[in-house]
């Protein structure tokens, strides 16, 4: 069974993160160039959606990995901790 302290590898998300970073650099350039407002908003939304998709994938990994491991351990303290983490993430 996976150790409770071992975290999943999220390196697969680095490519998307770099793309978002590029989009944000593009937004900065568009603002500096005084580009058309809707074009800037479109780029901001594209970056935000990419981040939301990455957040969703990482959350899914957390539930199917970290939370599932805690439940399998039958360690009530760990299970409660994971439930609180999920609640904090959902409510923020």
Closest Cα partner for 62 from 15, 21, 4? Answer: 4
Give the model's pLDDT for residue 74.
92
Q: Which CATH architecture has domain 12-91?
A: Up-down Bundle (1.20)
Closest Cα partner for 82 from 91, 70, 90? Answer: 70
Give the model's pLDDT for residue 40.
98
Q: Report, in this order, helix, strand and coil percent for the chain, each rounded to 5.
A: 80, 0, 20
Give the model's pLDDT for residue 66.
87
Give the model's pLDDT for residue 28.
98
pLDDT in tens, 31-86: 999 999 999 999 999 999 999 999 999 999 999 988 889 999 999 999 999 999 99
Domain ranges for the chain, please list them. Answer: 12-91
Give the model's pLDDT for residue 56.
94
Q: What is the Cα–Cα distance from 64 to 60, expressed in whole angstroms?
A: 6
């Amino acid at each position: 069974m996976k150790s409770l302290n071992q975290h999943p590898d999220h390196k697969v998300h680095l490519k998307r993160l770099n793309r978002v970073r590029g989009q944000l650099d593009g937004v900065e350039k568009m603002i500096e160039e005084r580009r058309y407002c809707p074009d800037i908003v479109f780029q901001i939304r594209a970056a935000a959606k990419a981040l939301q998709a990455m957040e969703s994938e990482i959350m899914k990994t957390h539930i199917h990995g970290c939370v599932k491991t805690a439940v399998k351990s039958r360690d009530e303290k760990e299970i409660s901790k994971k439930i609180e983490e999920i609640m904090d993430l959902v409510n923020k």
